[in-house]
């Protein structure tokens, strides 16, 4: 791949929180995702050449875009003074509960790292991506950035020397994700949570998160299902999502292990055992949503993707 041609990177959609793991569990889907192409520039600094797929809503100011802020952090952390121009192709919705700002940030640093040949460690790429994500969403949400970069199912521990722990993925674990064509502001979804949690709720949630991790390691599907309960975010956020209760009940009736809010919403996810069950659950979710709410929605079916962000091609190859 010739750096003069540019480098294109893809970063997938992610699910943050994963029902019982508010702010600590995240997983990656195989698709959809965001793509960022980076080209060398004779002018120092990072600039945006174009953005597509966002309806003209994302900022082209490089100080305010998650991809360019992340790339700038990579240049700073590696001591580089190169000029880079980028184009961003949004395949993920804005404020959709699918990790859109994280995907752009991660795709940006992967593309820039490949372009420059810096081969930065994952830990550096993670921190740079987090800086980009924080610019877009108002906070550093590792539970989206980490699975977008690492792939798989991860446990995140902000502020620790080892902030990301990869968890085992049961072979049959699949995701049905319904994205309503409405928006829920991440900042508003944070606001409704408040600043305190009753002790009994916190203890129950801690027990569920510990049981979830053990179930993943042991392959205990019954325990996995029993652990997937959210006592923290869902009771406080469900009212923000049109048709949530109808969709959740339809998913459970169709055989989902659990159904809950993806990230801050409005996307809803179900975890299922097996691809066929995931398809049946997804179709039930979509049907329930269309019957109860006058909005469009898109359905995404995927196993938990073991692979995260990656370089796809040079710009010459992608332009055909």
pLDDT reported for residue 188: 79
Whether residue 249 sits in one domain with residue 121 = no
**Buried/exposed code over 107-129 (b: 16+ C-beta within 10 A; e: otherwise):** bbbbbbbbbbebebeeebbbbbb
CA distance 136 to 58: 10
Whether residue 39 sits in one domain with residue 111 = yes
101: nearest Cα among 74, 140, 62: 140
In this structure, what token pair is assigned to residue 207? Answer: 């027990």
Whether residue 179 sits in one domain with residue 157 = no
pLDDT of 68 above 70: yes
List the strands of the sheet with 258-261, edge to edge. 258-261, 268-273, 173-180, 297-303
pLDDT of 94 above 90: no
Whether residue 239 sits in one domain with residue 143 = no
- Check residues 188 and 173 and name the one with the higher pLDDT: 173
Check which CATH number belongs to the domain holding 121 and give it: 3.30.230.10
Whether residue 88 sits in one domain with residue 45 = yes
Count other Cβ atoms within 10 Å, centred on residue 131. 21
How many domains does the chain divide into?
A: 2
pLDDT digits (tens, 9 = 90+) for 188-219: 788 898 889 999 999 999 999 999 999 999 99
320 within a domain of the structure (yes/no): no
Whether residue 263 sits in one domain with residue 145 = no
pLDDT of 44 above 60: yes
310 within a domain of the structure (yes/no): no
Whether residue 123 sits in one domain with residue 60 = yes
Check which CATH number belongs to the domain holding 281 and give it: 3.30.70.890
Phi-psi region of 109 (alpha: psi -120 to 50; beta: other; left: phi over 0): alpha
Whether residue 299 sits in one domain with residue 189 = yes
pLDDT reported for residue 314: 55
Domain with 137, as residue range(s), is 3-166
Whether residue 142 sits in one domain with residue 178 = no
CB under 8 A, 24+ apart: contacts of 54-61: 54/88, 54/90, 54/94, 57/94, 58/88, 58/90, 58/94
Question: In the 3-class helix/strand/coil scheme, how is 123-180 assigned residue by residue?
Answer: HHHHHHHHHHHHHHHCCCCHHHHHHHHHCCEEEECCCCCCCEEEECCCCCEEEEEEEE
CA distance 147 to 307: 9
pLDDT of 320 above 90: no
pTM for the whole structure:
0.93
Whether residue 146 sits in one domain with residue 50 = yes
């Amino acid at each position: 791949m010739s750096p003069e041609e540019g480098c294109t990177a893809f970063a997938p959609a992610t699910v943050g929180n994963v029902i019982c793991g508010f702010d600590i569990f995240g997983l990656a889907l195989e698709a959809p995702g965001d793509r960022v192409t980076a080209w060398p520039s004779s002018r120092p600094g990072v600039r945006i050449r174009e953005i597509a797929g966002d309806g003209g809503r994302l900022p082209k100011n490089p100080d305010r875009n998650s991809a360019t802020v992340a790339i700038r952090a990579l240049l700073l952390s590696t001591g580089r003074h190169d000029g880079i121009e980028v184009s961003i192709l949004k395949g993920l919705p804005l404020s959709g509960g699918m990790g859109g700002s994280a995907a752009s940030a991660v795709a940006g640093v992967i593309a820039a790292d490949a372009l420059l040949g810096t081969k930065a460690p994952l830990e550096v790429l993670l921190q740079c991506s987090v800086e980009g994500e924080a610019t877009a969403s108002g906070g550093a949400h590792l539970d989206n950035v980490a699975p977008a970069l690492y792939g798989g199912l991860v446990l995140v521990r902000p502020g620790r020397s080892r902030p990301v722990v990869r968890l085992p993925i049961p072979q049959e674990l699949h995701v049905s994700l319904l994205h309503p064509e409405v928006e829920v502001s991440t900042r508003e979804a944070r606001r409704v949570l408040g600043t305190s949690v009753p002790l009994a709720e916190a203890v129950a949630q801690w027990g569920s998160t510990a049981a979830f991790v053990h179930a993943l390691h042991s392959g205990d599907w019954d325990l996995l299902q029993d652990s997937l309960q959210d006592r923290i975010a869902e009771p406080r956020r469900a009212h923000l999502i049109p048709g949530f209760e109808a969709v959740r009940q339809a998913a459970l009736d169709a055989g989902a292990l659990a159904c809950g809010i993806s990230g801050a919403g409005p996307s809803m996810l179900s975890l299922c055992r097996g691809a066929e069950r995931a398809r049946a659950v997804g179709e039930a979710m979509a049907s329930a949503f269309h019957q109860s709410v006058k909005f469009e929605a898109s359905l995404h079916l995927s196993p938990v993707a073991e692979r995260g962000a990656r370089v796809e091609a040079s710009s010459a190859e992608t332009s055909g």
